[in-house]
Chain A
Amino acid sequence: MGAFSDLLLIAAEEAEHAEIHAGDGGWWADTAGIMLILPFVAYLLIIFFGKRLKYQGGEFAVGALAINLLWATVLFVMNMTGGVLDQTTFEIARIGSDLVFELGWVVDGLSIMMYFLVNFVGLLVFIYALGYMEGDVRVANFFASFSIFAGAMLVLVGAPNLIQLIVGWEGVGLASYLLIGHYWEDMDNVKAGNKAFMTNKVADVGLILGAILLGLAIGDFDFGHLSEAAVAGNVELNAVALTGGFLLFFGAMGKSAQFPLHIWLPDAMAGPTPVSALMHAATMVTAGIYLMARVFPLFQNMAQDARPWMIAIGAITLFAIGLLALVANDIKKVLAYSTVSQLGYMMTAVAAGGYTAGLFHLFTHAFFKALLFLGAGSVIHAVHSNDMKDMGGLRKYMPTTYWTFIVGSLALAGIFPLAGFWSKDEILATLGHEGYTTVMWIAIAGAFVTAFYMTRAVALTFFGEYKGHGKPHESGKLMARPLIGLAIPSIFVGVLNIPGVDWPGIGNFTEWLGVRVVAMGDYHPESVDFGLAAVGLAAALLGIVVGWMIWGADRKTQEERDSFAVPVLYPLLRQKYYIDHAALGIVGATTGPLARFVDWTNTYIIDGIVNGVGALTRGLGTFVYGILDQRGVDGIFNGLSAVADSAGSGLRKLQTGRIQQYAASFVAGAIVLAVVFVLVS
């Protein structure tokens, strides 16, 4: 609590011009650490007692998150009404005299938002998983890893310093590895888990180096002190701040799947669907954006030169990867590419100075993306296939799933007045205000693409005729109710942050997020820019209209469906649809090959580079293993053990097993000692 008084002091100073009013949260903030611990308690309970229970231990996981949600909700409401700013830390170790390693939890606007998000979405996904995983293999293992997943994310977002953040960061990586490879009987799933783990590891090097660099420069790993130092703006530390900023950004690129490190995310669909839902909504991929927001003052005040690069990466991600969703046939992969694209929006916004804009999109996106994944899981559960060619016409069979999926898709596409509209609009407004006009237009084009691929997914899944086997049926209550529980916020949370609107008594999302130890100094629009909002909305509506024109008609065979995805590759074979296509608009003709091209780039160039690096590493590994390890290190130890072996086989002959021989040697020795003693004395 010692460091905390300093923090309050800074907050008080800043409050004069930035209006940060905050209480300390009282008992609820002092005990908030329970949220970081309970999932791990649940993990132990599941491991030891899970298999005896009906849901194989899922009860413990749900219970832990339900208690967590109580804390998160209370803190969320307290932060709405008055602001909460508190930090509790315990010293774990001290290196030298002044480099302190602490664990604890921070309670401020940003972390409270994340606590609420992780626990709310997590609880609904856990309840859904009770139904989804029933009768599956290794359910207890699944829930144990799932609890770690949520717990590690809470450790991450509650971290008061970079060290604890890395602990949570790696925990999330481990849990995702375990969960992606849940069906490890299939080698592909194991490889997907490995790919996710390895890609993240590459990025983690950046995070760790960045943390060490910044920690040593400031003399402390604490985020509050880091923000304070960034605001103070010591010119001598500019180079360090820039390098450290780049390194942290590299770490965030891995976890938040930014181009070109996004390659692991589509493969991560190998895990059970609830895992994808949680991974894409609340845990894992939001970690990178969270980190960028946590160290936002660093980029705002010192490492500005890193921001154009971050925006470029974000813009490429949001547009180019979004296009890939157009050619994916696996419904989960459509959603996965969509997530990557939306993460690009968030990264672009945060990098452009839109702290609130990026995080608000993270907030709304969590609800509707979890909803879409759970809806997709519900469909997969009914159809027993991930492939959209086995679906179609499901709106008649699965009304709840259908309606909630529609809500999620509209929210994701950014249709007024659903959640996605407000958050995407705020990102566009921020980009426009900060002078990144080109990027703003890319983002608007991205909105069109988003609406387009979601229309395609909805049309292929829910309209037309059913093409799969058997008779699909609506999922049970355990799975249907979480869908409704996520659909409601997907509709309404957008109104929490209408620019210029202060809700009586609670203010708005911008104010809640602004409760930090230093003022963020970010841009947030003061009123709705109706022109820009109309353009964004028009792009989304156009995407839906064009998408519906192309995909609204039921195409029963794979060839018919392919004819729109790859019009240039098969022009002669399918002239009929080529004409059809041209009539339906230039957009459909250009996005397909462009998407194919991006897909090709993705497959051959980016993967090629990654594979090349992999081959190099492998060669080096072979050398180290074959020469250094096998011949050198092992040689030394083999030699030593050979000596010990021969000495042993000689000496063991003394062990005759005859007790009286031992006794005789003993007596002889005693006599010799006695004689020596007498002679010497």
Chain B
Amino acid sequence: MLVNQFLILAAALFSLGVYGLLVRRNIVLILLSVELMLNAVNINLVAFESMIRSADATGQIFTIFIITVAAAEVGIGLAIVLMIFRNRRSADVSDLNLMRW
């Protein structure tokens, strides 16, 4: 069973996510990038599980956990984004610099 192509795919996705997280200015896109990174991890987990085939399917179970947590995170994250947008008429992270020295 070949794992490499999946790992390469996951690494590419993760790097794209990191890139998006660091350079995008729109909060919604940053959240999307975070989702990309989470899904890259999911791919890794499923790929390794299909290679090892543990008795209790740890990889798949954890993937489902991560999807659940990601959904919750996006729910809260989008709610925050919405509130920020309503208050400041902007979803640009470079505007959100109130919390500093």
Contacts and interface: CB of A to CB of B under 8 A. Distances in A.
A552 B97 CA distance: 90
Nearest to B98: A657
Interface stretch (A416-424, A484-492, A659-667): A659-667
B101 A655 contact: yes
A663 B94 CA distance: 13
A159 to B, nearest CB: 58
Interface in B54-77: none
A656 B98 CA distance: 9
B9 interface: no
Interface in A628-681: 652-653, 655-660, 663-664, 667
B18 A652 contact: no
B27 to A, nearest CB: 9
Contacts of A653: 101
B22 A660 contact: yes
B101 A652 contact: yes
Contacts of A658: 93-94, 97, 100
Interface in B37-59: none
**Main secondary structure on A side of the interface with B:** helix
A657 B100 contact: yes
A660 B21 contact: yes
Contacts, number: 30
Contacts of B1: none
B96 interface: yes
A655 B99 contact: yes
A659 B101 contact: no
A663 B99 contact: no
A660 B93 contact: yes
B94 A667 contact: no
A215 B30 CA distance: 73
A473 B83 CA distance: 71
Nearest to A653: B101
A42 to B, nearest CB: 50
Contacts of B94: 658
A652 to B, nearest CB: 4
Contacts of B97: 656-658
A252 to B, nearest CB: 63
Contacts of A660: 21-23, 93
A673 to B, nearest CB: 15
Interface in B74-101: 93-94, 96-101
Interface string B17-28: 010011100000
A660 to B, nearest CB: 6
Contacts of A659: 30, 93, 96
Contacts of A657: 96-100
A655 B100 CA distance: 5
13 contacts: A652-B101, A653-B101, A655-B99, A656-B100, A656-B101, A657-B96, A657-B97, A657-B98, A657-B100, A660-B21, A660-B93, A663-B21, A667-B21
Interface of B: 18, 21-23, 30, 93-94, 96-101
**Pairs of residues from A and B, 7 with the lowest C-beta to C-beta distance, nearest first:** A657-B100, A657-B97, A652-B101, A655-B101, A655-B100, A659-B93, A657-B99
